[in-house]
C-alpha cells in the first residue's frame, strides 16, 4: 500500500505535524506502508495563471499528462491513503496548500468528468 503525507505545516514545532506523525506511526508504520512525504514549504509551488491554465486545458483535451507540471496530481492519484497536515490559520489554510490543491485537481488524473458529469 502507498500513502502520501502532505505536510503543510510551516512552524518548526508544529502541533499539527506532531499529530500527523503520531497517526503515521500508529496507522502506517505498523502496517509497513510505503510512505511518501511531501513538505510543501520546500516545494516550488506557483499558482496557475492564464497561460498555464490554457496549457493545462489543452493537455487535458489531448490526454497529455507527461509534464512535470502534473507531478502532484500523479502522486495524489497513485496514493491509496492521503494524510494532509494543515494548521488552521485565521479561518483558512496555508496558501501553499491551496496552491498544491489547485495543482492536484487535474481532470483525467485526480478525477474524471465530461460534458454530462462524472464518468
- pLDDT tens digits for range 21-70: 999 999 998 888 999 999 999 999 999 999 999 999 999 999 999 999 99
pLDDT in tens, 59-117: 999 999 999 999 999 999 999 999 999 998 788 899 999 999 999 999 999 998 877 77
How many Cβ atoms from other residues are within 10 Å of residue 17's Cβ?
Answer: 20
The closest of 99, 94, 104, 79 to 4, measured between CA atoms, is: 79
For the record, the C-alpha cell of 98 comes out as: 491551496
d(CA 67, CA 1): 25
Q: From residue 59, how far is each of 18, 32, 37, 54, 64 by CA, in Å?
A: 39, 36, 27, 9, 5
Domain ranges of the chain: 2-118
Looking at the predicted structure, is the pLDDT value of residue 119 above 70? no
For the record, the C-alpha cell of 40 comes out as: 510543501
Is the domain defined by 2-118 classed in CATH 3.40.50.360? Answer: yes
Amino acid at each position: 500500500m502507498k500513502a502520501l503525507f502532505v505536510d503543510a505545516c510551516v512552524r518548526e514545532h508544529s502541533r499539527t505535524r506532531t499529530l500527523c506523525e503520531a497517526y503515521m506511526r500508529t496507522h502506517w508504520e505498523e502496517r509497513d506502508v510505503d510512505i511518501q512525504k511531501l513538505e510543501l514549504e520546500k516545494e516550488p509551488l506557483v499558482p496557475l495563471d492564464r497561460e498555464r491554465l490554457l496549457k493545462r486545458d489543452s493537455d487535458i483535451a489531448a490526454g497529455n499528462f507527461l509534464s512535470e507540471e502534473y507531478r502532484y496530481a500523479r502522486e495524489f492519484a497513485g496514493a491509496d491513503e492521503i494524510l494532509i497536515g494543515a494548521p488552521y490559520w485565521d479561518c483558512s489554510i496555508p496558501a501553499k496548500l491551496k496552491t498544491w490543491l489547485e495543482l492536484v485537481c487535474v481532470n483525467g488524473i485526480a478525477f474524471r468528468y465530461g460534458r454530462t458529469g462524472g464518468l
